[in-house]
Structure 1
Amino acid sequence: MLALVGTTSRLSVGLVAGGEWALDFDPPAAVKFNAVRRGSCLLIVDDVVWPLAEGDCFLLTRPQRFVLASGLDVARRPAGPVFAAATGGIARTGSGDDVFLLGGRFDFGARARELLLDALPPVLHVPGGTEAAATLRWALSQIDAELRDRPVAARLVAEHLALVMLIHILRLHLATTPPAGPGWLGGLADPVVAPALRALHADPARAWTVADLAAVSTVSRSTLAARFKQAVGQGPLDYLTGWRIELAADRLRRGDGLAAIAHAVGYGSQSALSTAFKRETGRSPREFRLAPPPAER
């Protein structure tokens, strides 16, 4: 799914702070992340406070204002001028350097909001001190080392490591937080549905039946159908159709031929794909291809 929605990462300048300080950030245009590499501070979003300790990180999955601060009663200053004045890749505020935050953003394609981001909470906080977060700590340490030591291609390596960090954040979220509602993330969290869902994603062109998927999950057809509908919000074959159309739409955007797309996503002919595509999207593949691309998130 991350590959389908075109996930990329970009690191921003770091933040060093000390004493009493508070920065008010405008709503980020993309998914914002920060990790506390040294010290501690507060994250405040919509008057909700998250204490951040060394090793913690967070994602903001919605465009909303947020504050990073040493305390609740500190006067806030706009973050924009502070970061505009950064030198050597570091922005500074307050007095001293007892706090250091590493940050950046994740950019996604136009379908990310519906397919991924709406299934996540607005603020995703991951404590860094747990055993489950060991790989996340490793990724952050490697990013830190790349940016500090500046070997050849350091920024490229660091931004790829940020994608590794994102995957581990999502894994930890799935492992520790019940899904807020039905969807594919809910399906991955269900031990019965997850094997069937992974099978559909791995081989969308196969002529799957509910019996085939039930065998993958080692349950009866009726059990799989009921659990899939409860966790994902639709039946397994309806989900497969939607997934095939998402894959087809992505390949249409990239300019692939209709015959090759039809074969790759499990339709026996171009006409069969065209019929299914128009039924699901309201547009023919040709109309979809000619339409201007939607804005990225």
Structure 2
Amino acid sequence: MDPLEDVLGLLETQSHLSTGLAAGGRWALRFDAPSGVKFNAVRRGRCRLEVDGLPAPVDLAAGDCYLLTRPLRFTLRSDPDATAVDAGPVFEAAADGVARVGTADEVYMIGGRFSFGERAQELLLDGLPPVVHVPAGTEQADAVEWALTAIEQELQHGPPASRLVAEHLAVVMLIHVLRLHLARRPHAVSGWLSGLADPVVARALASMHEAPARSWTVAELAQAGAVSRSTLAARFKETVGQGPLEYLTRWRIELASRQLRESTDTVALIARAVGYGSESALSVAFKRVTGMSPGAYRKQVGAGREAMSGA
């Protein structure tokens, strides 16, 4: 299995498209901190993105898109001197799926957000910079542009199930953006994501994700990457921040956690499914990684769901 596909699947990645934005003249909109990961794509014109806490603005042109991976307030504006107004009322007054601000419509943007499961922060978002900017006009950005164009066409023409199709296309766009960011700026990511940018480490990661229950040794993983055991160990530690077998343990615990949340299988069955010979072996590893036993974790998840349903 592909590690990026595995993690996005584990995190139950979903997209939620928002109202489009048309703007012109002098304008500026102030947005509250988003939940999940915010994205916008400039389909016409240009503007500036300013994110609270970041030193430099990001200039956006037609064809550009960005991901905001942290819950930070941000502003979109025509120029540095425009007075910002709250975006909430502007979007509440939207008509025909488009919010309008300013005196013309020189700028048009589409956007939305991605929501994830409970482990997104550690597994994905912490490894990304606060803003992932994908400029247009590069060969590698063609796939992102294709997805954005398809999303815009679905939203504009509105054929049957257009919103569902557009939301699935947005997830496709997210994958292309992450791929492109890894290719363009491999040192701007951390954790397992940075390992995907190293071909040797990436092959070891792919092997572990393909068969997580297998009793891997570092030598076997090194063979998959056609390097020595010491070379793999050093490169894995340098890029991912932990050894390959430590990573394998943590990935197994992630898989076990999902089964504890989503199934009624016994801990013993789950242990065998993720590569542990006994319930006690899984329990020791699970407590070492999460600080609690599998049974306590399952009870905690159940109690949280009951509290939410009763709210």
Shorter-chain TM-score bucket reads over 0.9
Counterpart for residue 186 of structure 2: 178
Instruction: Find 2:268's aligned residue among 259, 275, 278.
Output: 259
Comparing 236-245 with 174-183, greater Cα deviation is found at 174-183
- 1:181 deviation in Å? 6.3
Comparing 88-97 with 278-287, greater Cα deviation is found at 278-287
Comparing 241-250 with 182-191, greater Cα deviation is found at 182-191
- 1:69 deviation in Å? 0.9
- 1:263 deviation in Å? 2.4
CA deviations on 1:137-177 (whole Å, 9 max, x unpaired) are 01001101111111111111100000000001000110011
AA aligned to 1:133 is: A
SS in 2 for 1:67: strand
Q: Within 5 A, what are the aligned runs for 1:147-166? A: 147-166=155-174
AA aligned to 1:29 is: S
Counterpart for residue 277 of structure 1: 286
Q: Within 5 A, what are the aligned runs for 1:136-285? A: 136-180=144-188, 182-257=190-265, 258-285=267-294
Counterpart for residue 298 of structure 2: 289
Q: Distance in 1 between matches of 2:101 and 2:48?
A: 15
- 1:207 deviation in Å? 1.0
AA aligned to 1:233 is: G
Unmatched runs of 5 consecutive residues or more in structure 1: none
SS in 1 for 2:10: coil
User: 1:41 aligned to 2:61?
Assistant: no
- 1:264 deviation in Å? 2.0
Q: Distance in 2 between matches of 1:7 and 1:260?
A: 27
Q: Distance in 1 between matches of 2:158 and 2:186?
A: 40
- 1:189 deviation in Å? 1.0
Counterpart for residue 100 of structure 1: 108
- 1:273 deviation in Å? 1.6
SS in 2 for 1:291: helix
Q: Distance in 1 between matches of 2:181 and 2:31?
A: 25
CA deviations on 1:84-141 (whole Å, 9 max, x unpaired) are 1111111000011111000100011111111110110111110021110111101001
AA aligned to 1:6 is: E
Counterpart for residue 18 of structure 1: 24
Q: Distance in 2 between matches of 1:182 and 1:98?
A: 38
Percent identity at matched positions?
Answer: 62
Comparing 266-275 with 196-205, greater Cα deviation is found at 266-275
Runs of 4+ in 1 over 6 A off after TM superposition: none
**Aligned residue pairs: how many?**
296
Alpha carbons of structure 1 residues 51 and 6: separation in structure 2 relative to 1, 3 Å: same
Counterpart for residue 4 of structure 2: none
SS in 1 for 2:8: coil
CA deviations on 1:182-235 (whole Å, 9 max, x unpaired) are 410111111221100111112101111111101100001111111111111111
User: 1:51 aligned to 2:62?
Assistant: no
SS in 2 for 1:48: coil
Q: CA RMSD in A?
A: 1.6
SS in 2 for 1:263: helix
AA aligned to 2:199 is: P
Unmatched runs of 5 consecutive residues or more in structure 2: 1-6, 306-311
Q: Distance in 2 between matches of 1:235 and 1:74?
A: 50
Q: Distance in 1 between matches of 2:287 and 2:230?
A: 30
Would the aligned equivalents of 1:179 and 1:185 in 2 still touch at CA under 8 Å? no
- 1:56 deviation in Å? 0.2
Would the aligned equivalents of 2:261 and 2:301 in 1 still touch at CA under 8 Å? no
SS in 1 for 2:295: helix
User: 1:6 aligned to 2:15?
Assistant: no
What TM-score comes out, normalization by structure 1 length?
Answer: 0.96
Q: Distance in 2 between matches of 1:142 and 1:180?
A: 29
Would the aligned equivalents of 2:144 and 2:173 in 1 still touch at CA under 8 Å? yes
Q: Distance in 1 between matches of 2:288 and 2:84?
A: 52
- 1:180 deviation in Å? 4.2
